[in-house]
């Protein structure tokens, strides 16, 4: 039976916390010590390490920076999401925003959308359903979706696009019939996004704390429930950088617990948690 590692010391916790904040921007107050200890414990057992100090030495080594960092990201990031989360955003996109953007583009190019912090893929696939349904009713409308996250583990899940059947509860019935495939084995209770939608979404790893620039600016950006883990100055810097990736007149959607009030960013509120690039 594997030996349980010694408890995480305050010294090691502070070293991990400072490192995580510097690399990910995520705040790690002392109240998160037990959470971090529990999550890192799995990595220690997998690696055959007997103490958090050993893991710290591995992580801070030259090889560890290259090989272990993605696993640390997976351990400390939270990936809570579901289809049609905060559904009023998708209603506003369909009814209030897409008609104007479609008229402005005039079919000359595809609408470019970015799901920033896409987790296991429910958000970008929800966007794909809404946009495809809009395209069915509007000639010359096309779109492409870029979905990014820092975690390679959740990106792999998102790219597979396979989910347990319980996940489809919030998906409208008409969309279930059109955009979901059910497992041939009913005992598995699995669904998969249809290939026509999967090919409209491209996935890419992106760390907000590292310099980034998208190949093409975006018309619509969903960055929801991501910056709540950052301190206020980091949030403002990130929103400025995201705004740089949005076309003039494009839109940013944030989570309902996130606000740009008082920030020096070129984004103007048009509705709660919906902003327009000025």
Query: What is the pLDDT, as a whole number, of residue 78?
Result: 66
Question: What's the predicted TM-score (pTM) here?
Answer: 0.81
**Tens of each residue's pLDDT in the chain, 278 residues:** 456 777 889 999 999 988 888 877 777 888 888 888 988 988 898 888 889 999 999 888 877 777 787 788 777 776 678 999 999 999 999 999 999 999 999 999 999 999 999 999 999 999 999 999 999 999 999 999 999 998 888 999 999 999 999 999 999 999 999 999 999 888 889 999 999 999 999 999 998 888 899 999 999 999 998 888 788 899 999 999 999 999 999 999 999 889 899 999 999 999 999 999 99
Query: What is the pLDDT, as a whole number, of residue 1?
Result: 42
Q: What is the DSSP string of 46-71?
A: HHT-S-HHHHHHHHTSHHHHHHTHHH
Cβ contacts of 241 within 8 Å, gap of 6 or more: 208, 212
Q: What is the torsional sign of CA 230, 233, 234, 235?
A: positive
Q: Report d(CA 214, CA 237) in Å as an integer.
A: 17
Domains 10-76 and 88-277 share a fold: no
Query: What is the CATH architecture of 88-277?
Result: 3-Layer(aba) Sandwich (3.40)
What CATH code would you report for 10-76?
Answer: 1.10.155.10
Looking at 39, 176, 237, 241, which residue is catalytic? 39
Dmax (CA) for the chain in angstroms is 66
Looking at 12, 132, 144, 149, which residue is catalytic? 149
Q: Is 170 a catalytic residue?
A: no
- C-alpha pair distances (Å), 85 with each of 3, 8, 81, 170: 41, 36, 7, 8
Cβ contacts of 128 within 8 Å, gap of 6 or more: 143, 145, 179, 193, 197, 200, 201
Query: What is the pLDDT, as a whole number, of residue 253?
Result: 98
Query: What is the pLDDT, as a whole number, of residue 198?
Result: 97
Q: Is 149 a catalytic residue?
A: yes
Query: What is the pLDDT, as a whole number, of residue 241?
Result: 96
- In the chain, where the domains are located: 10-76, 88-277
């Amino acid at each position: 039976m594997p030996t349980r590692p010694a408890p995480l010391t305050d010294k090691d916790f502070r070293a991990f916390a400072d490192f995580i904040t510097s690399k990910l921007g995520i705040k790690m107050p002392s109240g998160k010590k037990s959470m971090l200890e529990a999550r890192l414990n799995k990595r220690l057992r997998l690696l055959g390490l007997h103490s958090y100090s050993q893991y710290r030495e591995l992580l801070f080594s030259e090889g560890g920076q290259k090989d272990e960092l993605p696993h640390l990201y997976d351990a400390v990031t939270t990936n809570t999401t579901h289809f049609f989360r905060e559904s009023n955003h998708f209603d506003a996109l369909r009814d209030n925003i897409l008609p104007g953007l479609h008229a402005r583009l005039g079919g000359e190019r595809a609408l470019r959308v970015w799901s920033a912090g896409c987790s296991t893929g429910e958000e970008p696939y929800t966007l794909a359903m809404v946009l495809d349904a809009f395209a069915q009713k509007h000639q010359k409308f096309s779109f492409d979706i870029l979905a990014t996250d820092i975690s390679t583990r959740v990106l792999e899940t998102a790219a597979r696009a396979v989910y347990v059947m319980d996940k489809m509860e919030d998906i409208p019935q008409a969309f279930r019939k059109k955009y979901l495939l059910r497992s041939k084995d009913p005992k598995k209770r699995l669904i998969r996004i249809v290939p026509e939608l999967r090919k409209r979404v491209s996935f890419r790893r992106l760390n907000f704390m590292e310099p980034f620039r998208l190949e093409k600016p975006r018309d619509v950006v969903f960055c929801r429930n991501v910056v709540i883990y950052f301190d206020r100055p980091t949030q403002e810097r990130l929103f400025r950088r995201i705004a740089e990736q949005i076309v003039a007149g494009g839109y940013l959607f944030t989570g309902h617990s996130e606000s740009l009030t008082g920030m020096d960013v070129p984004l103007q509120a048009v509705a709660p948690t919906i902003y327009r690039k000025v």
